[in-house]
């Protein structure tokens, strides 16, 4: 959280404090609520003086003191979060503080949840689930000087599909695999779940580059690259496994789901995951149809063995941890057998078939 540190405790009047620190001659203040819109970034850990200096540089306030004096009178200023804010140039210090505290001034907020794909997907009932690109597009929207400005999902998709991978910021450990992926799926799984700050008014490539830099930092901090060798798989392959785990299991079951996937890979069995089949169809569904399972393609886990060419969704921390540290066990099969998503695991096909019968009886699918 960014906390505006207002030069220690304020005892007595704020003007007295600033007269001691700066001298009264340094104080100058605009009148009113300002004119043209301007986007201001509050950095992580920024102090009140640093924010005031940035506001002065952008001509939001007339002097550093105009903001800090007003901020010293407003205890809520300590709750300001890092991110982007729409303010106005040539505001009084008091007006700038008030607008910074107004939730409507916050722009560029993005939240990615686990299991979301790059593209929009549809539910069996026909409703649409916004994908990562749509969510990013929405986060870039800001009304500046009466005009709504957004980077569209199509612009983001074009930049993702055509830009040089190094220019995008794809890390070395993923670049070879990403280069071989279908262009519209090349960044799948590389935007991990979490909250991001997106600068409004910048080109699509810059938006993607900034988000990817943040996401890759988070991925590497979670040990994906450093701990992948212990699994016997590359970091990118572990990321793929993580995405499959994310789509197939609830959190308590994830380590066992990961073990089933590794066991099947090592024995040469096809993964037979409905989530893989549904992925290129942009479909959110628990099951698949015989027609879909008959469609050829690298994501058809009933027709081809091995991992898909890319992740199939954004994997969360629990899924990544499960892929890095799977449970020990001989299981070769699993099926969701409870209505809360809990899976039953089996070593043999006969055991699995019994679990499937129980799942049907339970109304799990």
Q: How large is the average pLDDT for residues 334-348? A: 92
The pLDDT assigned to 172 comes to 95
The pLDDT assigned to 25 comes to 53
Q: How far is CA 328 from CA 20, 104, 262, 271, 318, in A?
A: 66, 50, 11, 18, 17
3-class SS of residue 303 = coil
Among the listed residues 331, 363, 336, 329, the one whose alpha carbon sits nearest the alpha carbon of residue 273: 336
Q: Is the pLDDT of residue 288 over 80?
A: no
Q: Is the pLDDT of residue 302 over 80?
A: yes
* Backbone angles phi and psi of 12, in degrees to 5: 85, -160
| Number of neighbours of residue 143 by Cβ within 10 angstroms | 13
The pLDDT > 70 percentage for the chain reads 93
Q: How large is the average pLDDT for residues 268-272? A: 94
Among the listed residues 345, 123, 365, the one whose alpha carbon sits nearest the alpha carbon of residue 252: 345
Q: Is the pLDDT of residue 263 over 90?
A: yes
Q: How large is the average pLDDT for residues 294-303? A: 90
User: Distance between CA atoms of 18 and 242, rounded to whole angstroms?
Assistant: 54
The pLDDT assigned to 149 comes to 87
Question: CA 47 from chain center: how many Å?
Answer: 26
- 287 vs 134, which has greater pLDDT? 134
Contact between 123 and 96 under an 8 Å Cβ cutoff? The reply is no
Q: How confident is the model at residue 2 (pLDDT cuts 50, 70, 90)?
A: very low
Phi/psi-derived region of residue 120, left when phi > 0, alpha when psi is between -120 and 50, beta in every other case: beta
Q: Is the pLDDT of residue 127 over 50?
A: yes
The pLDDT assigned to 325 comes to 97
| Number of neighbours of residue 361 by Cβ within 10 angstroms | 9
Domains located in the chain, CATH noted: 14-106 (3.30.1490.480), 109-221 (no CATH), 229-362 (no CATH)
The structure tokens listed for 26 are 């340094």
Q: Is the pLDDT of residue 176 over 80?
A: yes
Contact between 48 and 71 under an 8 Å Cβ cutoff? The reply is yes
Q: Is the pLDDT of residue 145 over 90?
A: no
The structure tokens listed for 205 are 């490539």
Q: How large is the average pLDDT for residues 301-311? A: 95
């Amino acid at each position: 959280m960014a906390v505006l540190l207002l030069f220690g405790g304020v005892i007595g009047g704020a003007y007295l404090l600033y007269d001691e620190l700066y001298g009264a001659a340094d104080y100058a203040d605009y009148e009113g609520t300002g004119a043209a819109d301007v986007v201001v970034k509050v950095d992580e850990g920024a102090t009140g003086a640093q924010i005031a200096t940035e506001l002065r540089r952008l001509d939001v306030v007339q002097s550093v003191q105009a903001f800090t004096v007003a901020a010293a009178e407003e205890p809520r200023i300590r709750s300001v979060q890092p991110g982007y804010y729409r303010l106005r140039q040539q505001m009084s210090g008091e007006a700038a503080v008030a607008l910074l505290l107004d939730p409507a001034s916050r722009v560029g907020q993005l939240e990615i949840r686990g299991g979301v794909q790059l593209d929009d997907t549809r539910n069996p009932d026909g409703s649409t689930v916004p994908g990562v690109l749509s969510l990013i597009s929405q986060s870039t929207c800001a009304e500046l000087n009466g005009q709504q400005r957004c980077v569209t999902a199509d612009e983001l998709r074009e930049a993702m599909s055509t830009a040089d991978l190094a220019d995008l910021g794809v890390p070395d450990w993923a670049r070879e695999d990403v280069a071989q992926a279908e262009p519209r799926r090349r960044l799948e799984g590389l935007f991990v779940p979490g909250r991001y700050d997106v600068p409004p008014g910048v080109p699509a490539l810059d938006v993607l580059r900034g988000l990817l830099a943040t996401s890759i930092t988070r991925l590497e901090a979670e040990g994906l690259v450093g701990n992948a060798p212990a699994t016997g798989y590359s970091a990118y392959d572990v990321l793929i496994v993580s995405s499959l785990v994310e789509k197939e299991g609830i959190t308590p079951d994830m380590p066992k789901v990961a073990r089933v996937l590794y066991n099947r890979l090592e024995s040469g069995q096809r993964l037979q995951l409905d989530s893989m089949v549904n992925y290129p169809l942009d479909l959110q569904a628990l099951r698949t149809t015989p027609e879909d399972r008959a469609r050829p393609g690298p994501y058809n886990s009933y027709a081809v063995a091995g991992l898909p060419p890319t992740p199939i969704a954004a994997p969360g921390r629990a899924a990544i941890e499960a892929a890095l540290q799977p449970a020990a066990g001989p299981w070769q099969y699993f099926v969701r057998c409870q209505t809360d998503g809990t899976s039953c695991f089996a070593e043999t096909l006969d055991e699995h078939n019994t679990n499937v019968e129980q799942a049907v009886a339970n109304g799990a699918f």
